[in-house]
Amino acid sequence: MSSPISAFPNPEEPLAKAEIARRINHMLAGRKLTRVEAGKLLGIPQPRVSDLARGRLGRFSLEKLIDFAKRLGNDVEIRLKPSRTPRLKVA
């Protein structure tokens, strides 16, 4: 039986999305926003905020999650460096 992560052709992307979503949800919880208020801040309807909170990340692109992080007042950096084994990492 294969692990769920190996079902993805690029397993680093779902892991990066999960980490970004975790941080976004943590920031939203820290602000004590309702899902309606969070939706207004992120520019999405409340049901999509629920998707985000429940980890239904297939409904969000990596770019959209980065946009949410920026809307919450964060700088987002993407670094490229040579690697023997290319991967995507959220630091």
Terminal C-alpha separation, the chain: 30
Q: What is the number of alpha carbons within 13 Å of residue 91 lying toward its C-beta?
A: 7
What is the tens place of the pLDDT at every residue in 7-44? 556 678 888 999 999 999 999 999 999 999 999 999 99
Q: Select the more confidently predicted residue: 4 or 18.
A: 18
Q: Select the more confidently predicted residue: 2 or 10.
A: 10
What is the tens place of the pLDDT at every residue in 64-82? 999 999 999 999 888 777 8
Rounded to 5 degrees, φ, ψ at 22 are: -60, -45
Q: Tell me: pLDDT of 1 over 50.
A: no
User: Domains of the chain: which residue ranges?
Assistant: 10-71
CATH architecture of 10-71: Orthogonal Bundle (1.10)
d(CA 4, CA 35): 29
pLDDT at site 18: 94
